[in-house]
Amino acid sequence: MLPIPTLESARLRLVPLSRADSEGMFALFSRAEVCRYSGPAQDLEGREIPLPVTHRDGSDRLLDYWLARAREGSGFRWALHRRPETAFVGAVGFNQVGACCEYAFHLVPDAWGQGLAAEASRLALQWARSRGAREVEAYVDAGNRGSVRLLERLGFAASGDAREGAERWALSLGAG
């Protein structure tokens, strides 16, 4: 099991994703604008989860997938809760962890444009560095201008590589 700490910033609390986030995950992944540039999603059995989800069962299958990955220690998500209240505003985390971590982030549309993704990402990147990661990568569709701008602000650079139509962005964290 990967120990996943709770992280806090001025406006956010990043808590390990749990079953208590079921409603928030449905609110997030049922939105077409959130899923527009998302890659394919699958459940624990490898079955596709069509995005956006239309029923809570779909987002719960996605939630169960990330809970299992956290138990395996291979990847995870934090739920983003706005402070001081506990409103669910998104999820960030790592598709894989190790010397090179693959980062992903999703926020509810009402939270876009407020700097919350940058705030959460800085905490996540600090966590990766503290665990000895030397590089963080993210795969983003070139049409997703908001995510591209975020990665640029965080210091990521386009690598020129792509996977499943998404461009690879990389950030060196140093020697680890």
Express each pLDDT in 77-99 by its tens digit: 999 999 988 899 999 999 999 99
47: in domain:
yes
Per-residue pLDDT band for 40 (boundaries 50, 70, 90) equals confident
Instruction: Say how many domains are in the chain.
Output: 1
User: Is residue 93 domain-resident?
Assistant: yes
Tell whether 100 is covered by a domain: yes
Residue 173 in any domain: the answer is no
Read off the CATH number of the domain in which 100 is found. 3.40.630.30
Q: What residues make up the domain containing 113?
A: 7-134
Residue 57 lies in a domain: yes
pLDDT digits (tens, 9 = 90+) for 127-161: 999 999 999 999 999 999 999 999 999 999 999 99
Q: Is residue 151 part of a domain?
A: no
Q: Do the domain assignments include residue 171?
A: no
Residue 164 belongs to a domain: no
Could you give the residue ranges of the DSSP H alpha helices within 30-165?
32-35, 56-72, 116-130, 145-154
Torsion of CA 172, 144, 118, 155, to 10 degrees: 30
Strand, coil or helix: what is 10?
Answer: coil
Q: What is the pLDDT of residue 175?
A: 58
Average pLDDT across the chain, whole number: 95
In sequence order, what are the residues at sequence separation of 6 or more whose Cβ sits closer than 8 angstroms to the Cβ of residue 134? 99, 100, 172, 173, 174, 175, 176
